[in-house]
Amino acid sequence: MTPTRKRRLIGVLVIVIGVGVAAAVAMQALNENMLFFVSPTDVDEQNLPAGKRFRLGGLVADGSVSRASDSLAVQFVVTDGLASVDVRFDGILPDLFREGQGVIAIGELTPEGRFEAAEVLAKHDENYMPPEVADALEKAGHTESEL
C-alpha cells in the first residue's frame, strides 16, 4: 500500500471510530428517552406523578377485561408478571386486543393510581403461523413462544 493510500485509510478509520464512539455515548445518554414505554414495575418503582402523560406497556392479564354494557368503556389490568396496573379506556380497541396480548396504553395516572388511557395499541410479537397451527399448539398445551 502506498503512503498516500495508507494516510487516507487511517483518516477514514479515525472518522469512523470517532463517529462510532460519539454515537455510542449519545445513545447511552439518551437511553431513558429511547424507551418507547414503561412497564408496570417501572410505574411502581418510579412513583410517577399523577397527570403526567406516558406510555404503559405490558400484557393484558388473563380474566381481567370487563366491558361496560352501555358504552365503549373497558377496564383491564396490564401486568409484566411482577407488578400490575389497572387501566381504564373509553374508545375503540385494536383488533389484536385480547387477554394475554401485549398492549401499549397511552395516558396518565389518576391520583388513585389507576391508569386512564387515551389510546391503546396492540403489540404484535414475532410469531407468524396459520390458524390451524395455532389451534394445534394450543390443544397440545404449548404456548406460542415455544414454536
Binding site for other proteins (CB under 8 A): 5, 8-9, 12, 15-16, 19-20, 23, 27, 31, 34-39, 57, 93-96, 104, 119-135, 145, 147
Dist CA 24 CA 45 (whole Å):
27
Dist CA 15 CA 23 (whole Å):
12
CA 58, 59, 60, 63 torsion-angle sign: negative
CA 114, distance to chain mean position in Å, is 19
Q: Which is nearer to other proteins, 73 or 144 (CB)?
A: 144
Q: Which is nearer to other proteins, 29 or 34 (CB)?
A: 34
Q: Which is nearer to other proteins, 112 or 146 (CB)?
A: 146
Give the residues across from 89 on adjacent strands: 74, 117
Smallest distance, other proteins to C-beta of residue 133, A: 6
Smallest distance, other proteins to C-beta of residue 94, A: 3
8 Å CB contact between 10 and 17: no
Smallest distance, other proteins to C-beta of residue 83, A: 15
Q: Which is nearer to other proteins, 84 or 89 (CB)?
A: 89
Dist CA 78 CA 80 (whole Å):
7
C-alpha cell at 47: 412513583
Smallest distance, other proteins to C-beta of residue 116, A: 18
Smallest distance, other proteins to C-beta of residue 6, A: 9
Q: Which is nearer to other proteins, 70 or 146 (CB)?
A: 146
Give the residues across from 117 on adjacent strands: 89, 107
